[in-house]
Amino acid sequence: MFEMYVYTMGERAYALEMARLLDPGRVYFDSRVISQADCTQKHQKGLDVMLGTDSAVIILDDTEFVWQKHKENLILMDRYHYFSSSGRTFGLNNLSLSETKRDESETDGALATVLKVLKRIHKMFFDSELDDDLMGRDVRQVLKTVRSEVLKGCKLVFSHVWKLGERVENQKLWEMAEQLGATCCKELDPSVTHVVSMDSGTEKSRWAVKHKKFLVNPRWIEAANFLWKRQPEQDFAVNGVNNQ
């Protein structure tokens, strides 16, 4: 379905070793390995070192800021932490996969989840019913369409998620929610479906409980972004408040 590349900001020896470990038979990547020395801009990854047009490339990466010029091509992945030392680097203190003697789920882990998304994007991109020429199609538009369906129909109000006085439209969570298809607003009204908050004691949070709206913490949006699917609100309760 795809021609795959390994692309890392690491040195070439590291990149080649990772490719060897992941693909010892050279079935998936072959010689398509890009490392730090190949990058044309410091501390940034770019598609200018790859064959093909940007409109036909999908990027899987756990770091967004290295793709400043290609955010529309990017599927942001959850970081993979097998060893506890890896998790601690990012401030995680829970048991690692190695400590629990397991790996990510084969059915709903990050790779399984993104494979479903990739298959759907591939099908839409090559849809034979489309009238335009194949060369004129843009996978970035397909990606945007699929992403915008995740939280479609949800109307969100945020409460005490960022500092007072900060422009809400510039907040990453606000932008993320809108990209996922949600409508974000500043004021409460009967059409609001979710209040996103860190504190169940705020006025807006109490309103949500009183009017039987969903009250969720910000991780609900982040989980939907990583899993490309609306997540059960009861799994993201605020200070123990249960969603009905």
| SS3 category, 59 | strand
Contact 63, 57 (CB under 8 A): no
Report the pLDDT averaged over residues 187-202: 95
pTM assigned to the model: 0.86
Report the pLDDT averaged over residues 224-234: 94
Determine the Cα–Cα distance for residues 100 and 103; give it in Å rounded to an integer. 8
Determine the Cα–Cα distance for residues 158 and 143; give it in Å rounded to an integer. 26
Determine the Cα–Cα distance for residues 145 and 148; give it in Å rounded to an integer. 5
Q: Quote the DSSP letter at residue 10.
A: S
The pLDDT-based confidence of 219 (bands split at 50, 70, 90) is very high
Of 93, 55, 58, 91, the closest CA to residue 77 belongs to: 58
Determine the Cα–Cα distance for residues 44 and 34; give it in Å rounded to an integer. 13
pLDDT at position 22 is 93
pLDDT at position 139 is 94
Structural domain boundaries of the chain? Answer: 6-145, 150-236
Report the pLDDT averaged over residues 4-9: 94
Q: Evaluate whether 6-145 and 150-236 have a shared fold.
A: yes
The pLDDT-based confidence of 244 (bands split at 50, 70, 90) is low
How many C-beta neighbours within 10 Å does residue 15 have? 21
pLDDT averaged over every residue in the chain: 91
Contact 3, 33 (CB under 8 A): no
Fold of 6-145: Rossmann fold (3.40.50)
Determine the Cα–Cα distance for residues 25 and 3; give it in Å rounded to an integer. 16
pLDDT at 131 over 70: no
pLDDT at 92 over 90: no
pLDDT at 57 over 90: yes
Give the HSE-up count for residue 126: Cα atoms under 13 Å, Cβ half-sphere. Answer: 7
Tens digit of each residue's pLDDT (9 = 90 or more) over 132-144: 677 789 999 999 9
Determine the Cα–Cα distance for residues 157 and 226; give it in Å rounded to an integer. 21
pLDDT at position 108 is 86
Which numeric CATH code is attached to 150-236? 3.40.50.10190
